Amino acid sequence: MFHHIILLLAMPGVTAATILAFILAMNAYATTVLLGGPTFHVMGPTVYNAFAGLTNWPFGAAIAFVLMAATLLLTLTSNWLAHRRYRT
């Protein structure tokens, strides 16, 4: 009963929540710095270090654009797949 009724009705909401959590986690800066430390390299701190630490504006802008484009592409793709899956 749970799988056939409740889970199937809840899946669009679970999918939307997953997409929103991914968007927030993809661009998180403080979480990766606090959990990973200064030697853990991900996109958010790399963008910050390019602008603030290295004052390399072109590199920071390029990395920020790559981060934004990847987030937008993955978000649109998952949103399109969710709409296609749960279309009524």
Each residue of 16-66: pLDDT tens digit?
788 778 777 766 766 666 777 767 777 777 777 788 888 888 888 888 898
Q: Which residues of 20-42 are buried (b: 16+ CB within 10 A; e: fewer)?
A: eeeeeebeeeeebeeeeeeeeee
Does pLDDT of 71 surpass 70? yes
Q: With CA atoms as reference, report the closest residue to 80 among 19, 27, 35, 25.
A: 19
Whether residue 7 is contained in a domain is answered as no
Whether residue 46 is contained in a domain is answered as yes
Enumerate residues 6+ apart whose C-beta is below 8 A from 16. Answer: 82
pLDDT value at position 30?
67
Q: How many helices (H) and strands (E) does the chain have?
A: 4, 0
Does pLDDT of 11 surpass 70? yes
Whether residue 78 is contained in a domain is answered as yes
Does pLDDT of 14 surpass 70? yes
pLDDT value at position 13?
81
Q: What's the total number of domains in the chain?
A: 1
